[in-house]
Amino acid sequence: MGLGIGLVGLPNVGKSTTFNALTKAQNAESANYPFCTIEPNKAVVPVPDKRLDELAKIVNPQRIQYSTIDFVDIAGLVKGASKGEGLGNKFLSNIKETEVILQIVRCFDDENITHVEGSVDPVRDIEIIETELLLADIESLEKRIANLQRKAKGSDKNAKAQLEVAQELLKHLENEQPASTFENDSDAFKTLIKELRLLTAKEIIYGANVDEDSLAEDNEYVKALKEYAAKRNREVIKLCAKIEEEMVGFDEEEKQEMLESLGVKESGLDQIIKKGFDKLGLMSYFTAGVKEVRSWTIKKGTTAPKAAAVIHNDFEKGFIRAEVISYEDFIKYGGEAGAKEAGKMRLEGKDYIVQDGDVMHFRFNV
- 49-77 pLDDT, tens digit per residue, is 999 999 999 999 999 999 988 888 887 66
Closest CA to 18 of 48, 38, 45: 45
As a whole number of Å, the end-to-end CA separation of the chain is 25
**Per-residue model confidence (pLDDT) at position 204:** 95
**Per-residue model confidence (pLDDT) at position 355:** 98
Contact 80, 310 (CB under 8 A): no
Residues 151, 110: Cα–Cα separation, whole Å: 55
Could you tell me the pLDDT band of residue 40, with boundaries at 50, 70 and 90? low
pLDDT of 2 higher than 60: no
Amino acid in the structure at residue 4: G
pLDDT of 300 higher than 50: yes
Which residue did the predictor score with more confidence, 39 or 50? 50
Residues 260, 186: Cα–Cα separation, whole Å: 49
Could you tell me the pLDDT band of residue 115, with boundaries at 50, 70 and 90? confident
**Per-residue model confidence (pLDDT) at position 28:** 41
Q: Where are the alpha helices (DSSP H) in the chain?
A: 15-23, 50-59, 89-96, 122-152, 157-174, 187-196, 220-231, 241-246, 252-261, 268-279, 304-311, 313-317, 327-332, 336-341
Residues 301, 222: Cα–Cα separation, whole Å: 35
* Mean pLDDT on 321-339: 97
Could you tell me the pLDDT band of residue 46, with boundaries at 50, 70 and 90? confident
* Mean pLDDT on 227-243: 95
* Mean pLDDT on 267-291: 94
What is the rounded average pLDDT for all residues in the chain? 87
Residues 170, 337: Cα–Cα separation, whole Å: 59
Residues 287, 296: Cα–Cα separation, whole Å: 8
In this structure, of 12-16, 39-43, 131-135, the range with the lowest mean pLDDT score is 39-43
List phi, psi (to 5°) of 288: -135, 105
Residues 124, 220: Cα–Cα separation, whole Å: 14
* Mean pLDDT on 27-43: 51
Contact 99, 69 (CB under 8 A): no
Amino acid in the structure at residue 170: L
Contact 224, 119 (CB under 8 A): no
DSSP-derived 3-state class of residue 46: strand
Between CA 13 and CA 19, with CA 16 as vertex, the angle to 5 degrees is: 120
* Mean pLDDT on 281-301: 96
* Mean pLDDT on 320-333: 97
Closest CA to 9 of 223, 204, 201, 240: 204
What percentage of the chain has pLDDT greater than the value 70? 89
pLDDT of 35 higher than 50: no
pLDDT of 113 higher than 70: yes
Domains and CATH numbers, the chain: 4-46+68-120+203-279 (3.40.50.300), 140-199 (1.10.150.300), 301-364 (3.10.20.30)
* Max CA distance (Å), the chain: 69
- The sign of the torsion formed by the CA atoms of 144, 149, 150, 152 equals positive
Closest CA to 138 of 93, 102, 174: 174
What percentage of the chain has pLDDT greater than the value 90? 63
Angstrom distances, CA of residue 162 to CA of 62, 146, 150, 155: 54, 12, 12, 13
Distance of CA 67 to the CA centre of its chain: 13
